[in-house]
Amino acid sequence: MPTLRELGLETYEIVQIARSQLVDAPYNPRLIGEAEKRKLKAGLKKHGLVAPITWNARTGHIVSGHQRIKLLDALAGSPDYELTVARIDVDEAREKELNILLNNPNAQGDWDMERLNELLRLPDLDLQGAGFDHADVYRLFGESSLADRGDALDELAEKVREFRDRYQELFKRSAQRQSTDFYMVVVFRDAEQLSTFLQEHGLPDNRYQSGEEIMRLLAGCRADELPPTHRADERIGR
């Protein structure tokens, strides 16, 4: 039975090198936001590096793994360490092709949403360790995926239902016939992050916030620049 290497389909070698030999590819087009960094860092902290960084010995460039290596530096406490990499030896044109291929979500398929939902409902599955947070799950699947986990997702689903039912009842009692589709759910990582956000932006410690206030914060304008009906003293829940 031939090996993949003999068939020409395995073109890397596993070697151990110093971290200092890995150079960021200056053309790397992949970006990552702060929220995604936190998820990736949490996964690396829990599981460690379970797949090697791809490194081109000819140029010294990282081909795949730029974000992982930066977070590993932070977790290791310094960039002074050795690691095992998948070493390739190609010219820069081919290196760029591989950089795009290995980072291209269009070449990596998509979720089977039914199977993903089943997995994320497992009570012993750590969402953070899988790179998800509660907001991701709610956004993908809604309330139907939040039951039976026995963790904060159950609590989140219940709070959202309470919020919706409360406002629907308010509008039933009034003579107004407006749509109740005027709210959104914002989920913070934890209670501390929520408290910090409210304090930094001078918002009341209240679960219900005014959309006008959030719009003001995003626009970067001061409360005294808004019409009286849009100011903080008109917030819902005050």
- Per-residue confidence (pLDDT) for residue 232, from 0 to 100: 41
Tens of pLDDT, residue by residue over 43-82, are 999 999 999 999 999 999 999 999 999 999 999 999 999 9
CB 85 within 8 A of CB 23: no
The CATH code of domain 13-107 reads: 3.90.1530
- Per-residue confidence (pLDDT) for residue 96, from 0 to 100: 97
Assigned token pair, 180? 């109740």
Nearest to 69 by CA among 89, 39, 40: 40
Q: Compute CA 199 distance to the chain's CA centroid, rounded to the nearest angstrom.
A: 24
- Per-residue confidence (pLDDT) for residue 100, from 0 to 100: 95
- Per-residue confidence (pLDDT) for residue 43, from 0 to 100: 95
Tens of pLDDT, residue by residue over 199-210, are 888 787 777 777
- Provide the terminal-to-terminal Cα distance of the chain, rounded to the nearest Å: 74
**Residue ranges of the chain assigned to CATH 3.90.1530:** 13-107
Q: Which ranges of the chain have pLDDT less than 50?
A: 175, 222-238
- Per-residue confidence (pLDDT) for residue 231, from 0 to 100: 43
- Per-residue confidence (pLDDT) for residue 106, from 0 to 100: 84
pTM, to two decimals: 0.64
